[in-house]
Amino acid sequence: MTTTPPKQPLCQSLVATLTLSLIVGFCHFASAQTPVSFREQIAPILQEHCVACHCAKRAEGGYRLDTVEQLIKPGDGAASPVVASKSLESEWIVRMKHADPDLRMPLDSEPLSQGSIDTIGQWIDQGAKLDGILPSEPLWSVIPPQTYRAPPEHYPVSLPITAIAFTADGSQLLSSGYHELIAWNPADGALMSRSPNQTQRIYSIVQAAEPTKWYVAGGTPGTLGEVRLLNRTSNLVEQVIARGPDVALDVAVRPGNQEIAVAMADNTIRIIELEKNEIRRVIASHGDWVIQLSYSDDGKRLGSASRDKSAKVADADTGELLVSYPGHGAAVRGIASIQDGKQWISVGADNKIHRWEVENAKKVAEVPLGGEPAKIVKDDGSIWIPDADKHWYRFELANNAIAAKQPGHEDWVTSVAVHRGTGRLATGSIDGSIRVWNLADGALIKAWVAKP
């Protein structure tokens, strides 16, 4: 007599089948797990959240990770930051997950997201591979240029106007925004267009050789700086021209040459050859931020204004320092060349305009201002100066005198642009407002808050 085994209940059979499927699926996932890229996934997390406190200038706990070589070396505590294939033994993961906020990293900041911690752990468990990156490479340099987040449709608050510029025909006024460049109608303040995919903050807007293309310089303070080439016809970023470990503060185009100079908050000036899109020279003569640059009209000399209390002039071909002017005794905020680079105008935190000669750094004139100035603009025989005393100034080179001192802003004036063709001057303020003025008599034409 044949005995038929009892049938397994349907629900029990389904549970067994589902469990087996999950086990098989998990094993397949584990074996086919996508490799984590240090260059594309890990380095950006470290650069954004960790480098500010663990770099050459500020190595908290004796630990640095601003280069690939440094990030694998222990700090003062001697614990290994990264133990290949063992994430739970790696100090990175221990500190990122620590329950004590005084020991958790990043310190004095929001904890990393669980997703970021998991990605870092996964990279370590996969062997902590470095994608063939040279150990000496700075962390910022290995990160591919990114597509930035979209700006908000409407700004909840106004932002300081850190850069403005007229288009060639004067029909549009470009201003800094949050991850975007914004175009306004200078006649009525109407919003005309928005160009996204820019750095978090913009500090310089300079027209390239083609009228539709612009160099947009900025970055995220203490993290990354870039100069992006924007095509305003297509509204696309065509190239990332220059990069650095801190913000790019200014761009100057060399007359008659295919190169630009970039002022960086890492204390350097980067000379970029545009045809090859490569660094031709790095000038490291300053001891603090380089704030503004100016070429002489003949393109033979390059002037720089720095927070290190000096203005300098270098040979534009060789980078050789020709003179350092120490007359301000305070941070120098702006510089402009006159007389083909034989003389220079600079302004600084001593609240003064200085006119001086390259030969022997001899001071020619000194004129007081009402407050601390920002970057200046040279136009024909005038120097235009935005100032923290809520005014803008026009300084006449012919007689070394202030020809106009115009009130009208409610807070610091931070930027200025001039367009002779339309007879207009534009100013931006730290409170986010823009004013457009008549050059002839200083009359106010239009005022608005630059907040989409």
pLDDT at 22 over 80: no
Structural domain contains residue 158: no
Structural domain contains residue 439: yes
Structural domain contains residue 366: yes
pLDDT given for residue 100 in this prediction: 86
| Average pLDDT of the residues in 350-358 | 98
Helix (H, G, I), strand (E, B) or coil at 366: strand
Say if residue 96 is in the same domain as residue 52: yes
| Average pLDDT of the residues in 58-70 | 84
Residue 41 DSSP class: I
Say if residue 62 is in the same domain as residue 207: no
pLDDT given for residue 136 in this prediction: 82
Domain stops at, among 96, 111, 142: 142
Nearest residue to 423 via CA among 441, 406, 435, 408: 441
Q: Which residue has the higher pLDDT, 67 or 234?
A: 234
Half-sphere exposure of 353 (CA within 13 A, CB side): 26
Q: How far apart are CA 353 and CA 369, in angstroms?
A: 7
pLDDT given for residue 2 in this prediction: 42
Name beta bridge partners: 348: 332, 352
Nearest residue to 202 via CA among 446, 448, 428, 435: 428
Instruction: Provide, rounded to the nearest whole percent, the portion of the chain with pLDDT above 90.
Output: 71
Q: How far apart are CA 177 and CA 109, in angstroms?
A: 25
pLDDT given for residue 28 in this prediction: 42
pLDDT given for residue 278 in this prediction: 86
Q: Tokens standing for 295? A: 């070429």
Q: How far apart are CA 330 and CA 308, in angstroms?
A: 8
Q: Which residue has the higher pLDDT, 135 or 259?
A: 259
pLDDT digits (tens, 9 = 90+) for 260-280: 999 999 999 999 999 888 899
pLDDT given for residue 138 in this prediction: 84
Q: Tokens standing for 85? A: 């294939």
Structural domain contains residue 19: no
Q: How far apart are CA 226 and CA 349, in angstroms?
A: 26
Name beta bridge partners: 384: 377, 394
The domain that holds 400 is classified in CATH as 2.130.10.10
pLDDT digits (tens, 9 = 90+) for 121-138: 999 999 989 888 888 888
Say if residue 93 is in the same domain as residue 203: no
Say if residue 280 is in the same domain as residue 202: yes
Q: Tokens standing for 338? A: 């006159």
Mean of pLDDT over the chain: 90
Say if residue 104 is in the same domain as residue 220: no
Query: What is the C-alpha end-to-end distance of the chain, expressed in Å?
Result: 88
What are the distances in angstroms from CA 378 to CA 22, 147, 230, 385? 71, 34, 24, 9
pLDDT given for residue 3 in this prediction: 44
Determine the Cα angle at 375 with ends 372 and 381, to 5°: 105
Q: Which residue has the higher pLDDT, 32 or 94?
A: 94
Say if residue 127 is in the same domain as residue 173: no
Say if residue 353 is in the same domain as residue 229: yes
| Average pLDDT of the residues in 293-315 | 97
pLDDT at 226 over 60: yes
> Domain range for residue 124?
38-142
pLDDT given for residue 294 in this prediction: 98
Domain count within the chain: 2
Say if residue 138 is in the same domain as residue 168: no
Domain stops at, among 108, 142, 176: 142
CB-based contacts of 441, cutoff 8 Å, min separation 6: none
Whether residue 185 contacts residue 172, with contact meaning beta carbons closer than 8 Å, is answered with yes
Domain stops at, among 110, 142, 174: 142
pLDDT given for residue 424 in this prediction: 98
Determine the Cα angle at 52 with ends 50 and 57, to 5°: 130
Structural domain contains residue 150: no
Sheet holding 181-184, edge to edge: 164-166, 173-176, 181-184, 191-195
Q: How far apart are CA 287 and CA 269, in angstroms?
A: 11
pLDDT given for residue 308 in this prediction: 98
Helix (H, G, I), strand (E, B) or coil at 450: coil
Q: Which residue has the higher pLDDT, 73 or 368?
A: 368
pLDDT at 49 over 80: yes
Whether residue 126 contacts residue 35, with contact meaning beta carbons closer than 8 Å, is answered with yes
Say if residue 225 is in the same domain as residue 297: yes
Helix (H, G, I), strand (E, B) or coil at 110: coil
pLDDT at 366 over 80: yes
pLDDT at 12 over 60: no
The lowest-confidence range among 71-85, 213-227, 402-416 is: 71-85
pTM attached to this predicted model: 0.83
CB-based contacts of 54, cutoff 8 Å, min separation 6: 60, 61, 63, 64, 65, 66
Say if residue 231 is in the same domain as residue 331: yes
Whether residue 139 contacts residue 71, with contact meaning beta carbons closer than 8 Å, is answered with yes
Say if residue 177 is in the same domain as residue 263: yes
Q: Which residue has the higher pLDDT, 100 or 356?
A: 356
pLDDT at 14 over 70: no
Structural domain contains residue 9: no
Say if residue 78 is in the same domain as residue 209: no
